[in-house]
Amino acid sequence: MTDRAAVHDTAAAAAEACIRRFTEAMVAEDTPTLMALAEMAVLMGLRGLNLAAHGRVTSFEIGNHRAEGDRHAYDVTMHADETYRLRLAAVESAGTWRIAAALPLGEDGQPREPERTLPRPSLAWMNAPTEWGVRAEPGPPDEGLTLRRINIGSYGYVPDVWPDSTMRPRGAARLPGVESMGYSIYSKAEVWADSCADLYEQGIQKRWAASTNINWDAIERHPGDLERAMVQLCTELAERAYWKSVIIGRWLREISYGFIEVKAFLSADIFDEARHTEAFRKRAVLFGAGLGVQPQTDLYRAMWDAQSWSELSLLAHVLGDSLVGTIYRWGAQRIARTDAERRLFELSQQDKERALTYGRDHLRYLVAAQPDRREELHNYLRKAENAFAHDLRSSPLLGALAVLLGGGANRIREGLREVDRLRADHLRRYLATCQAAGLDRSERVHAELAKYA
C-alpha cells in the first residue's frame, strides 16, 4: 500500500468514526454532542428536514463511502417507523473531524437539497383522546353560536379546581412537556359567575364606538360654571375607568385558562373601561376647557392592594361600579343637555350594568360554594367602605355633581341636596346587590354611607 493510500484510509476511518458518533448522538437526542460535532448550519438544516415525522430512530447502518476532495461522505440508513437515508460528510480542521454537510437521499441514492424537501408533519394529533361527535347548535339569528351553546358534553363541565397551569383549552388533550404559564388562581369559586358567558356575549353584541356612535357635533356646551363642573365630572369618570381597567388587567393573567368564560368577560370588561376612559376624556376637552383636577384614589388604592380576586371584585364590581353606574344613570336623566350627551351616559351605563351583574353573581356563587368565608368578605367590604367614604369626602366629584344637579355654583345648597339623593340611590343599589348575593350589609354598612339610608 502506498503512503497516499494509507493516508486516505486513515482519513476515511477518522471521518467514519466522526459520522458514527454524530449518528449515535442523533439517535440518543444528545444535543451537546451534536453541537460539538457539527456546524450550526448543518444542525439547522437537519431540523428543517422534520426527521421526527419518520418516528423515533431505533438503529442505523453506515454504508457507501465516497471521497469528495478533503471531505469523506458516507450514506447512512436510519431505521425508524419509516426508514430514511442521509449522506453525511465530514472534514478535518485543525486536527479535528466535524460534520460539514447533511443531505437527505432519494430512492435513487442521490442527495436532495433540503430547501426542496417539504416537511412531512406528524398526524398523531388525529388520534387525540378527546370527545368526538358533540355538535353545538346555533341559536336564532339574533343570538348565533354563543359560548353557552358550545358548553356541552365534556366541554361544558367546569371543575371546582382546574389545576392545569398551561394554555391547554378545557377539553383538549394534554401535550407532554408544555411549559407552565404561572397562573395563581385555580379555584372556580374564586372567580366564577354563572352569568359570565352570557355577559360576554352581551358585551360583544352591544359594543359601541365612542368616536362614531356619539354625535359629538350635537353636544352643546353647558352655560357658565356648569361646563367647568362637567369637565371635572368627566375627568373623574375617565380616570376611574382607567384605574379599573389597569387593575383588572393585572389579575387577568393569574386566572387559569380552564375558566375561559370568566377570562373572556373580564377582557370585555377591560375594553369597556378603556372605551369609557376615551369617551369621557373626549367630552371633557370637547369645548377647549381642558381636563379638571385629578380625583382622589383611596378606593382604587385599596383595589390595587387587594390580595385575592374576590376581594378585588367586591371593591371594583360591587362597590365601585354601583357608584359609577348610579352617576351614569343620573347623568342621562338629570345632567345631559342634549340627546347626544344623554346617549353617552346611557351607553356607558349599559356597559356598567354588565360589570355590576358579574360582581353580584360572582359574590353569590362564592358565598354558596364557601359559606365559611362570609366574615372574610364582610371584612373586605368594611375596609373598602372606609376607603370609599374618605375618597368621596376629599374628591372634587361631589362638588362637581352639586353644581351640575343644582344648576350652578350659586345654587350649591340645592345641588348638595340632590347629591344626597344620588348617594341614597347608590346606597340602595349597593346594599341590594350585596343582599341579592347572600351577603347582608344593611346593619354593617359604614356610618358615612348609612346616613343616606
- State the pLDDT at residue 107: 81
Whole-number pLDDT of residue 131: 87
| Burial class of residue 29 (count of CB atoms within 10 Å of its CB; 0-12, 13-18, 19+) | exposed
217-261, pLDDT tens digit by residue? 999 999 999 999 999 999 999 999 999 999 999 999 999 999 999
Looking up cell 368565608, which residue turns up?
A: 373
Of 281, 444, 260, which is closest to residue 348 (Cα–Cα)? 281
Q: CATH code for 3-117? A: 3.10.450.50
Which range, of 66-70, 143-147, 265-269, 357-361, averages the lowest pLDDT? 66-70
Cα angle 192, 195, 197 (rounded to 5 degrees) comes to: 90
Tell me: pLDDT of 1 over 70: no
Query: pLDDT tens for residues 144-153?
Result: 999 999 999 8
Q: Are 173 and 129 in contact (CB under 8 A)?
A: yes
Q: For residues 410 and 1, which has the higher predicted lDDT (pLDDT)?
A: 410
> What are the pLDDT digits (tens) for 127-142?
888 888 888 999 999 8
Alpha-carbon gap, residue 241 to 237, rounded angstroms: 6
> What was the pLDDT predicted at 118?
53
User: Within the chain, how many helices (H) and strands (E) appear?
Assistant: 16, 4
* pLDDT computed for residue 424 by the predictor: 96
**Buried-state track 209-224, b at ≥16 Cβ within 10 A, e below 16:** ebeeebeeeebeebee
Mean pLDDT for the stretch of residues 408-413: 95
- 188-450 carries CATH number 1.10.620.20: yes
CB distance 356 to 317 below 8 Å:
yes
Rounded CA separation 315/305 (Å)? 11
Calculated CA dihedral for residues 344, 349, 350, 356, nearest 10 degrees: 160
Per-residue pLDDT reduced to its tens digit, 303-362: 999 999 999 999 999 999 999 999 999 999 999 999 999 999 999 999 999 999 999 999
Q: For the residues 400-420, what does the mean pLDDT come to?
A: 96
For residue 398, the Cα-to-chain-centroid distance in whole angstroms is: 35
Residue 156 clears pLDDT 60, i.e. is over it: yes
pLDDT level of residue 81 (50, 70, 90 thresholds) = confident
Identity of residue 381? L
> Can you tell me the distance from the alpha carbon of 193 to that of 215, in angstroms, rounded to the nearest whole number?
36
What rounded mean pLDDT belongs to the chain?
A: 91
Alpha-carbon gap, residue 327 to 277, rounded angstroms = 15
Q: Where are the domains of the chain?
A: 3-117, 188-450
Convert 294-334 into a string of H (helix), E (strand) and C (coil): CCCCHHHHHHHCCCCHHHHHHHHHHHHHHHHHHHHHHHHHH
Separation of alpha carbons 195 and 192, rounded Å: 9
